[in-house]
């Protein structure tokens, strides 16, 4: 796993508006790795202009990625595997106490992820409803369409009702 830093500048005043890290799982980063779910419409805090952030995805249109819904995320899975391998190695070397610690950390990592899974899914579900609500405004839907997002026609027509 590697962390990459993403720095974004306002398209109008060019000042830095956002800086965050995102994880890449042992391969070349793709556009999807940078995604966050939320509204792509952002207000620049420096010049006050509205701009579109193409890394933001509306969950009502773009479904969650595999890592968003997985019971155990790829990061925890790797950490768990590493702990398991390390524990096995230590056990082979006769370091029982250290081996147990390594196994314990591995297990705790996996258990924590499984335990947090319902919370993560609830957040996704809440974000999906918020996304449908935003898109139920045809002006908003059309603005995103103009920005290059693939918006279904029913949102553009304003016929898509908010789903319960
Ligand atoms: Zn600006």
Indicate whether 95 pLDDT > 90: yes
Are 9 and 15 spatial neighbours (Cβ–Cβ below 8 Å)? yes
Q: Roughly what angle, to the nearest 10 degrees, separates helices 96-135 and 74-92? A: 180
pTM exceeds 0.75: yes
* 42 shares its domain with 76: no
Strand partners, 21: 5
Rounded to the nearest angstrom, the distance between the alpha carbon of 151 and the centre of ligand 1 is 26
* Neighbour-count burial of 66, counting CB atoms closer than 10 A to its CB (0-12 exposed, 13-18 middle, 19+ buried): exposed
Rounded to the nearest angstrom, the distance between the alpha carbon of 6 and the centre of ligand 1 is 17
Indicate whether 91 pLDDT > 90: yes
User: What's the total number of domains in the chain?
Assistant: 2
Residue 41 belongs to what domain range? 1-57
Residues 18-59: tens digit of each pLDDT: 999 887 777 788 888 899 999 999 999 999 999 999 999 999
Rounded to the nearest angstrom, the distance between the alpha carbon of 53 and the centre of ligand 1 is 12
* 126 shares its domain with 148: yes
Helix (H) or strand (E) holding 18: strand 16-24
Is residue 32 included in any domain, yes or no? yes
* 84 shares its domain with 140: yes
Are 79 and 101 spatial neighbours (Cβ–Cβ below 8 Å)? no
The chain-wide mean pLDDT, for the chain, equals 91
Rounded to the nearest angstrom, the distance between the alpha carbon of 8 and the centre of ligand 1 is 11
* 4 shares its domain with 82: no
Q: Which residues surround ligand 1, an ion (CB under 5 A)?
A: 10, 12-13, 44, 46-47
Rounded to the nearest angstrom, the distance between the alpha carbon of 29 and the centre of ligand 1 is 27
Is residue 62 included in any domain, yes or no? no
Is residue 63 included in any domain, yes or no? no
* 99 shares its domain with 161: yes
Residues 152-163: tens digit of each pLDDT: 999 999 876 555
Which pLDDT score, from 0 to 100, does residue 26 have? Answer: 72
């Amino acid at each position: 796993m590697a962390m990459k830093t993403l720095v974004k500048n306002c398209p109008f005043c060019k000042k830095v508006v956002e800086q965050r890290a995102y994880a890449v799982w042992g391969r070349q980063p793709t556009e999807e790795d940078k995604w966050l779910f939320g509204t792509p419409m952002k207000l620049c805090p420096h010049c006050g202009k509205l701009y579109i952030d193409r890394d933001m995805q509306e969950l009502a249109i773009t479904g969650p990625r595999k890592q968003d819904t997985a019971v155990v995320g790829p990061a925890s899975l790797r950490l768990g595997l590493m702990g398991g391998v390390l524990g096995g190695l230590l056990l082979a070397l006769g370091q029982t106490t250290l081996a147990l610690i390594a196994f314990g950390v591995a297990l705790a990592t996996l258990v924590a992820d499984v335990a947090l899974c319902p919370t993560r899914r609830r957040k996704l579900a809440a974000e999906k409803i918020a996304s449908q609500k935003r898109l139920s405004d045809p002006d908003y839907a059309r603005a995103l369409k103009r920005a290059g997002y693939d918006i279904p026609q029913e949102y553009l027509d304003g016929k898509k009702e908010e789903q319960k």
